[in-house]
């Protein structure tokens, strides 16, 4: 898993830069990480999706432009005066300056990691660095530990049309046009192995392969969901050997 090790080390560098607020300001514009979709005026670069009050879900990670940061493959991090919009359906990142209407589409091949701040900070790492089978994808990092347990989340969003029969349509005045569905896969990295895991108590504990997980579960009640697992892995990572 040499790719994962490289990714972990790279992400540690990225995360430390973000916390320290090391920013490059408008220098980001000169790094040639855009694909050339620069527009101005009233033109909009963001793709137009099926959208109305009847459509459920969202093709974008956030409803509005958000603060964040981006780290290039050469380990430079930029965030000052930048706003971001992440398209979950195509794994595309759009960027604009806070003082400009110009929207640019980032060249994801030149980006190793990026963060988005909604109600909290979300950090994403390049899938190619974890496993070449996930080239072009970006994983959200939920837990990161170089030596013990790391947890990643892959979201792949698709639009699903509503399936209705002709008879149902005739009897219904309004039919929902469809919805955007997030297909989520979790990945656990432990003992030098990256593997997809379900958020089910029995299978997840088996994947962790330590009695300490059972002990934690016995001592901490609650729903076995994403938040619970993050807390459990952080606790296990903090325990002394």
Tens of pLDDT, residue by residue over 62-76, are: 989 999 999 888 888
What is 46-86 written as a DSSP string? SPP---STT-BS-SBSSSS-EEEEEEETTS-EE-TTEEEEE
- pLDDT value of position 21: 39
Q: How confident is the model at residue 85 (pLDDT cuts 50, 70, 90)?
A: very high
Does the pLDDT value for residue 19 go beyond 80?
no
State percent of the chain over pLDDT 90. Answer: 37
pLDDT (tens digit per residue) in 123-172 = 999 988 888 888 889 999 999 987 899 999 999 988 887 665 455 554 55
pLDDT of residue 32: 44
Task: Answer yes or no: are the C-beta atoms of 154 and 134 closer than 8 Å.
Answer: yes
pLDDT category of residue 236 using cuts at 50, 70 and 90: very high
Mean pLDDT of 84-101: 89
- Token representation of residue 154: 């892959």
> Rounded distance, CA 172 to CA 60, Å?
30
Kindly report the CA angle at 99 between 97 and 105, in degrees rounded to 5? 25
Residues 104-133 have a mean pLDDT of 89
Mean of pLDDT over the chain: 78
């Amino acid at each position: 898993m040499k790719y994962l090790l490289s990714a972990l080390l790279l992400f540690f560098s990225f995360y430390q830069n973000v916390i320290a607020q090391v920013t490059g300001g408008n220098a980001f514009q000169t790094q040639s990480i855009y694909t050339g979709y620069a527009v101005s005026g009233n033109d909009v670069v963001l793709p137009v999706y099926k959208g109305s009050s009847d459509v459920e879900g969202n093709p974008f990670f956030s409803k509005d432009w958000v603060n964040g940061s981006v780290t290039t493959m050469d380990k430079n991090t930029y965030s000052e005066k930048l706003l971001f919009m992440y398209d979950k359906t195509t794994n595309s990142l759009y960027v604009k300056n806070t003082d400009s209407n110009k929207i640019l589409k980032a060249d994801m091949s030149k980006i190793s990691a990026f963060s988005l701040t909604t109600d909290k900070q979300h950090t994403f790492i390049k899938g190619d660095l974890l496993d070449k089978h996930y080239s072009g994808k970006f994983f959200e990092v939920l837990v990161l530990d170089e030596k013990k347990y790391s947890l990643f989340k892959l979201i792949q969003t698709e639009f699903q049309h509503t399936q209705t029969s002709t008879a149902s349509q005739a009897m219904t005045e309004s039919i929902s046009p469809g919805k955007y569905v997030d297909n989520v896969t979790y990945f656990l990295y432990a003992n030098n192995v990256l593997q997809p895991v379900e958020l089910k108590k029995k299978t997840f504990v088996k994947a962790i392969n330590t009695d300490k997980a059972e002990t934690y579960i016995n001592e901490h009640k609650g729903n076995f969901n994403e938040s619970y697992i993050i807390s459990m892995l952080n606790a296990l990572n903090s325990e002394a050997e």
